[in-house]
Structure 1
Amino acid sequence: MTQHPRVPLVLVSGLAPEPNDELSELLRRAGPGIAVVHHDLRRIGDGVVRRRIRLGPRDELTALELAHGCVNCTLREDLLPLLRRLARMPAVNGIVVRLDEAMEPEPVSWAIQHVLVGERPVSEDVEIEAVFTVVDCATWLDDATGDELLVERALQGSPEDERTVAQVALAQAEFADVLVLAGAATDAWSAAKSAAVLDRVAPSVPRVELSRTDVAGLYAAVPADARRGEVGDMHGALLRGQPPLHPDCGIELLVFTAQRPFHPERLHDAIDLLLDGVVRTRGRAWVASQPDVAFWIESAGGGLGIGHAGPWLASPGGPDWVEVSPERRTLASLRWDPVHGDRAQELVVVTDQAAPEEIEQALLGALLTDGELAEGEAAWRGYPDPFGEWHEDPCEDNETEADRHVPAAQRKDDTQ
């Protein structure tokens, strides 16, 4: 097969449609042969996705009918094959994927790199050059700290999508290579507080103003060590860059670590504190009743995702050291326990109205006591376990790896 150079691809994400369109148009006009693709998911509940392709004078709008109305089906059945076709067109010099507001760039990036179209992933045809996330300065703070559901805005990735707006807003910001600021905050306090949140959830991501930049400025802002669509190791470092550790505008950062397991019922009770007055929780947990698998916990806006992050290195049947990333090997070596290996607690919590000290005490109280620890693993496996049943998505077999670890969000009332 004749080898051909990969076509540069840019992802544009964000919750505000008009600035997203403005940024996509700016990128389209950067030079000849830039194709812009947008899948509108507003009617996905009816199994219909509206696809728009712009390339030169061509502006084509198509209504797609999918067997299953969900983001994963849209990726697999249309976006990925389309990217391959566009990349092989001589007239195409670059591709901009303007993501629907309900879409997060991480699972899209994972699909481009890992989902097979035919016998090969689309990453052999395209190369992710940058991920730009638009932040609407007038609304982003409310989005990132509120408890509104996507469905309340008619924004859903599938009919069963229970994510909160905050979960999407934060996931989009965290995965960006550059944050593109659009508009202005309603007041100085909101601007300062938005900056304080972004400093802690995306500390290494530069910010540029949409109204004061051009295409050259956008690409110049992409850091040399930008992830460019690379999906992070779930057993790697939870903090990229160096977020401030001091309080700012009421926003604080708590890093919780421990090297003994959680009692499943006490952890379940403590999770309530990760939903009230908390901007973001992300991290791994070691639960006594399921000692062979790492739990992944995420919360934002009253929405909670809990799932499996795969086995620990020390687990029976766990991965070999040579199979995991150097980052994971380094972190595991630093905390290796002669009995429990790399099993440990590590949660990063960004708080707003909640007191970090109360959250820390609740998490400490959820750890096994000395007496429980002495009972041993055989006894732990018999503990009552409210985490024993897992959500199964109708399209589970088609989920990307980046989606698979976090089930559909649960509202706070569902965890009672």
Structure 2
Amino acid sequence: MTENPRVPLVLVSGLAPGPNSTLADLLRQDGPGTAVVHHDLRQITSGVVRRRVQFGKRDQLTALELAHGCVSCTLREDLLPLLRRLAREPGVKRIIVRLDEAMEPEPVSWALQHVLVGDRTVSEDVDLRAVLTVLDCATWLADATGDETLAERGMQASPEDERTVAQVALSQVEFADLLVLAGTAGDAWTAAKGAAVLDRVAPSIPRVELSMVDARTVLAAVPADARRGEVTDMHGPLLRGQPPLHPDCGVALLTFTSQRPFHPERLHDAIDVLLDGVVRTRGRAWVASQPDIGFWIESAGGGLGIGHAGPWLAAPDGPAWADVSPERRTMASLRWDPEFGDRAQEIVVVTDQATPEEVEAALQGALLTDEELAAGAEVWLTYPDPFGEWHEEPCDDTELDPAKHDANASNRKDESQ
């Protein structure tokens, strides 16, 4: 018996509800057979999510009550089962999921591929064809470089959500297959600076203007080699594409690398430099007091995420070479050290008010000195370690993405600004 083909799926993300809705409507009007799903999380802290499903003449609004109000519960308890039902509904030829403004597309993509609904994942029923992120040109740059939290804007995705608006704005852009620009910037400087930021955080992602496209031209603009929901390997390349290396509108790119470990306390102190005058930080760190685990560091808008990126290949419990991506094997081979293996620092920083030189100086100062390096690994294990304890969220979302969960577990906002 021939199995039914998977139904094409498109995710629409972005911070601005109006342009997001416009793009979703545009895609729905491209002939019959397109269903649009939207979960409104504005009341999620009270345990209520409003779901809207549009298909043909159906326009159904449902209030869902959740035991614990969070994005993870919304995914597990409603969105994933709903997608599986829609994919099997006669007449449904394509599904558009318009994500809530506070949702990042990467954990949704991970859930499609890994969370079981019944005896199978939803990716066996749907085929993720594109992740489209909509940018409101009038507000996006301020969102991506500001320090406002989702809570301050009334956009929390759970009662414990401490993310900044900038963290969400940049995550949505970095995971996109196509950026859809809506409206215009307030002035030429804002437009130029916004483009400079995008050139450095998403250099390989094409951009189209919402006012100049229809459904077919939008989807046709998605590159053939787009990631289409491929989840980030935290030990893989930090940049997709080739960003400009020269400063533009005060925006510059720094790639910090080193093959000696950080001192845990000095790294903890140096991290503050990543919260002031920095647009984005993403990367892996090797901390002397925890030599077998790569740390993942991510910051934006005064919000900081620090978590475990999994073991190094050279760690006693590290993965087998055959079990990791070709890109990771290649990078490890190029920098392999006879004593420390693939352990290394690799952090990409996009600066604005700060300069690459001061950020690099702070990170260099956090590395072990020659004397400390010579003392050996047994001494490093005795260093006081402010990264030794990890916060756990009340809602266990390890069914979604343990790595991403850890990476956001230590989010904090710099209150000194």
TM class by smaller structure: over 0.9
Gaps of 5+ in 1: none
Q: Do structure 1's residue 412 and structure 2's residue 417 form an aligned pair?
A: no
- Take 1:14 and 1:223, find their aligned partners in 2: how far apart are those partners? 19
- The offset of 1:399, in angstroms, is 5.1
Shifted more, 212-221 versus 46-55: the winner is 212-221
- Secondary structure, aligned partner of 1:405: helix
Contact 2:397 2:405 in 1 (8 A): no
**Residue deviations 1:44-99, cap 9 Å, x none?**
00000000000000000000001110000000000000000000011100000000
Contact 1:392 1:407 in 2 (8 A): no
**Residue deviations 1:215-246, cap 9 Å, x none?**
12111211111000111211000010000000
Q: Do structure 1's residue 37 and structure 2's residue 32 form an aligned pair?
A: no
**Residue deviations 1:169-218, cap 9 Å, x none?**
00000000000000000000000000000000000000000001111211
Percentage of matched positions with identical amino acids: 76
- Take 2:40 and 2:404, find their aligned partners in 1: how far apart are those partners? 20
- The offset of 1:2, in angstroms, is 5.6
- Take 2:404 and 2:366, find their aligned partners in 1: how far apart are those partners? 27
2:56 maps to which residue?
A: 56
- Take 1:70 and 1:53, find their aligned partners in 2: how far apart are those partners? 20
- Take 2:84 and 2:235, find their aligned partners in 1: how far apart are those partners? 31
- Secondary structure, aligned partner of 1:295: strand
Counterpart code for 1:352: D
Contact 1:265 1:384 in 2 (8 A): yes
Residues 1-400 of structure 1 correspond to what in structure 2 (within 5 A)?
A: 3-398=3-398, 400=400
- Secondary structure, aligned partner of 1:21: helix
Contact 1:285 1:294 in 2 (8 A): yes
- Secondary structure, aligned partner of 2:408: coil
- Take 1:376 and 1:119, find their aligned partners in 2: how far apart are those partners? 50
Matched residue count: 415
- Take 2:269 and 2:162, find their aligned partners in 1: how far apart are those partners? 21
**Residue deviations 1:303-338, cap 9 Å, x none?**
000000000000011110011111111111111111
- TM-score normalised by the chain length of structure 1: 0.98
**Residue deviations 1:266-292, cap 9 Å, x none?**
001110000000000000000000001
Q: What's the C-alpha RMSD, in Å, of the aligned pairs?
A: 1.2
Counterpart code for 1:410: R
- Take 1:355 and 1:133, find their aligned partners in 2: how far apart are those partners? 29
- Secondary structure, aligned partner of 2:49: strand
- Take 2:195 and 2:289, find their aligned partners in 1: how far apart are those partners? 40
Q: Which runs of 4+ in 1 moved over 3 A?
A: none
- Take 1:86 and 1:198, find their aligned partners in 2: how far apart are those partners? 35
- TM-score normalised by the chain length of structure 2: 0.98
- The offset of 1:397, in angstroms, is 4.2
- Take 1:390 and 1:411, find their aligned partners in 2: how far apart are those partners? 17
- Secondary structure, aligned partner of 2:284: strand
- The offset of 1:413, in angstroms, is 3.8
Contact 1:302 1:412 in 2 (8 A): yes
- Take 1:377 and 1:256, find their aligned partners in 2: how far apart are those partners? 23
- Secondary structure, aligned partner of 1:152: coil
- Secondary structure, aligned partner of 1:283: strand
**Residue deviations 1:125-146, cap 9 Å, x none?**
0010000000000000000000
Contact 1:28 1:36 in 2 (8 A): yes
- The offset of 1:369, in angstroms, is 0.7
**Residue deviations 1:133-174, cap 9 Å, x none?**
000000000000000000111101100000000000000000
- The offset of 1:3, in angstroms, is 1.5
- Take 2:274 and 2:232, find their aligned partners in 1: how far apart are those partners? 23
- The offset of 1:396, in angstroms, is 2.6
- The offset of 1:404, in angstroms, is 2.0
Contact 1:73 1:398 in 2 (8 A): no
Counterpart code for 2:72: N
